[in-house]
Structure 1
Amino acid sequence: MKIKEIIVVEGKKDTANLKRWLDVDTLETSGTGLTDSTLDQIRQWATTRGVIIFTDPDTPGDQIRQRINEAVLGCKNAFLPSRKAWEIVRGKRKVGVEHAGKEEILAALEHCLTYQTKEESTLSWQEFVELGLTGLPNSAEKRREVGIRWHVGEANAKTLWKRLNMLKVTKAMLEEGRDTDE
């Protein structure tokens, strides 16, 4: 399968894993060492071929994603659930695009979302709280389930709330999703 857009990843092993399964061109950020020159290159490709940001589901990956999205409007974002992107390497849990399988990679790319300029919220913070997605002992688990269901990755409360609003998700949509899963 050929991917039209340039996929921005953190490193060479991410590229190697994607190329195992897809015909794809990538740009490696060398981890958090994202330079102004690399951002300029991403801007140029965003206007010609399109860009998909596909970073690891961890803090450095989220920081890279945020920096690119702030600098380059209109990038697509692919998210891996962290529990699907890990393996045990020499006794340590490793998380990242380089460890994900073909099914996880294809699902993440199929459910890309694009950050846009700030718009009116479809899900208020109060509604988010009422759904139990923050402030309760099991809120983190609920957020994880919602992140997986809506393909926006696992996130803290504020980040998940923002991502759901980007998708124009409403309280009713979240309640319907919960009811159909029970």
Structure 2
Amino acid sequence: MKIKEIIVVEGKDDTTAIKRAVDADTIETNGSSIGEAVIEQVKLAQKTRGVILFTDPDFPGEKIRHTIAEKVPGCKHAFIPKHEARPKNGKGIGVEHASVDSIRAALREVKEEMEDYISEITQEDLIDAGLLGGPNARQRREKLGLHLKIGYANGKQLYKRLKMFQISKHDYLEVVNKIIQEEKIR
């Protein structure tokens, strides 16, 4: 599988994992304190070939994703679920621990940002679905992100992410209903 876009990852181990799974070029951020030189590289990559942000499914990874997306508009996003980014010994979390199949699946499901999309989903819909506030909100958001392949988002970021990736109200409601049904079965 050859990837045209340049994939932005956090470090060398992530690059190694990506190259095991696909034929692609990467840019490494070398951590969450992203320097101006890296931002300039990503801007050039976006202009010439396009960019896929593929960071770890944890707080630092999301911070890197947010920082780059803010400074380099129009990036695509690949997400890997947390449970697929854990090593066998259970210590740590990261793209470097994901299987070849998980990496390929994430890259097949790449999402594209669309800032000017007008979403049919409202904040009230999120509240009604128990995604904001309430005892199970975090778990529901995790499941929603997993099913929609948009990664986990906290309460503040969820609406923005649904809008950014043009998630339709139909798809949203389908997943919310599935999550609610799963909870009833337990």
Instruction: Give the TM-score normalised by the residue count of structure 1.
Output: 0.90
Q: Classify 1:138/1:180 alpha carbon distance in 2 versus 1 (closer, same or farther; 3 Å).
A: closer
Q: Residues 128-179 of structure 1, C-alpha deviation per residue, up to 9 Å, x if partnerless?
A: 1001112121111111111011001112112222111223334443222344
Aligned to 1:174: 172
Give the equivalent residue in structure 2 for 1:59: 59
Secondary structure class of the residue paired with 1:94:
coil
Number of aligned residue pairs: 180
Distance in 2 (CA, whole Å) between partners of 1:180 and 1:126 is: 19
What's the TM-score once normalised by structure 2's chain length?
Answer: 0.89
Residues 25-174 of structure 1: pairs in structure 2 closer than 5 A: 25-89=25-89, 93-174=91-172
Amino acid of the structure 2 residue aligned with 1:101: S
Structure 2 residue runs without a partner (length 5+): 182-186
Aligned-partner residue type, residue 107 of structure 1: A
Q: Which stretches in structure 1 are left out of the alignment for 5+ residues?
A: none
Distance in structure 2 (CA, Å) of the matches to 1:180 and 1:65: 28
Residue 2 of structure 1 aligns to a residue whose secondary structure is coil
Counterpart Cα distance in 1 of 2:75 and 2:15: 18
Q: Which moved more, 1:75-84 or 1:166-175?
A: 166-175
Instruction: Kindly indicate whether the alpha-carbon contact (under 8 Å) linking 1:14 and 1:97 is maintained by their aligned counterparts in 2.
Output: yes
SS in structure 2 at match of 1:13: helix
User: Which residue of structure 1 aligns with residue 184 of structure 2?
Assistant: none
Q: Which has the higher strand share?
A: 1
